[in-house]
Chains A and B, each alone.
Chain A
Amino acid sequence: MADQIILKPDADMTFWDKHRLSLLLIITVLIAVTLTVISMIAYNVSGTAQLDLSRPGLSSVSDKVDKGDKITEYSSFGPVNKDSINEFTKLYDEQAKKAKAVDAFNGDPLNPETLEFDVNANE
């Protein structure tokens, strides 16, 4: 027996029957907005924003990120003897030297004198 489509007369339709499509669209938009807001909060709170060099004004340096500086991973497995420890210290010293090579965030570039708004600077 073929399925029969039963159409309700307009008068019998409830409010939700009449606005089903609109409701679907509104809920979809609300879900999308909520998820976007949650994502943006997570992006800002987690500190990811500070690592994002594609942000406006920072894209000029995005290609200057060290990409070729790969660290050889030391294996967690294997024997511990003088040779394996020396192998480790060799790898470690190499990276430690790089880590300490730059005295990052030193100086005082935000000093009023440096920024030239300290009246005593030119006196």
Chain B
Amino acid sequence: MIRVLTMLAVVAAVTVLLGLGVQTAHAQSNSLTPEQVDRIKSNCTSIKSTLNQLHVSDALLRVNRGQLYELLAAKLMDPFNARLSNNRLDSKATSAVTVSYRNAFDSFRNDYKAYEEKLSTALKIDCVNQPELFYTTIEQARVNRTKVHDDVLKLNRYVDDYRTAVDDFLLNFERVSQ
């Protein structure tokens, strides 16, 4: 009985120590220098104002870009693929690009959501009293914004790929028609 209790105590102690170690490592990785903390505190209002402007401009950008990307697929890609299928022509290549494009658009939507939520959280943090948390949240939002940009690049690439697939189709079509 005593042996079991001792073992349990040892396991508990090790768990607590490991937990503390992880927390300390995490805190150290996110730690700011006293100068940075001072700078965040003193520039708190202007930083928040900049973040607010970014939040507003990015929200508008998201709506306008999203609308454009969505309509490109719904009003051009899908109907063209459907027309090829209706005429019993090979639409595999264009359809495959459309699927990839839609997946990229889903990632864009999800990554923007994650970015916007982090930025909104940062805007709610009191940067005078919680500069470290404020900094960490901005860093996370920064990473998420980079992902959104990557998604935009991916979407642009698929826009080009679709055009190439249509060109290839036209070439084959002309060859077969002759």
Contact = CB atoms under 8 A, between A and B. Distances in A.
Interface of A: 47, 50-51, 53, 57-58, 60-61, 64-66, 69, 71-80, 82, 84-85, 88-89, 91-93, 95-96, 98-100, 102-106, 108-112, 114-119
Contacts, number: 159
Interface of B: 33, 35-36, 39-40, 43, 46-47, 50-52, 54-69, 71-72, 75-76, 78-80, 82-84, 86-87, 89, 109-110, 112-113, 116, 135, 138-139, 141-142, 145-146, 148-149, 152, 155-156, 159-160, 162-163, 166, 169-170, 173-174
Given A47-B112, A80-B173, A96-B160, 10 more contacts: A50-B62, A51-B62, A57-B56, A66-B68, A73-B79, A74-B75, A76-B79, A92-B80, A92-B162, A99-B68
Nearest to B88: A80
Interface of B is mostly: helix
Nearest to A47: B113
Contacts of B169: 85
Which of A60, A91, A100 counts the most chain B CB atoms within 10 A? Answer: A100
A50 B173 contact: no
A118 B36 contact: yes
A10 B86 CA distance: 75
Contact of B65 (A80, A93, A102): A102
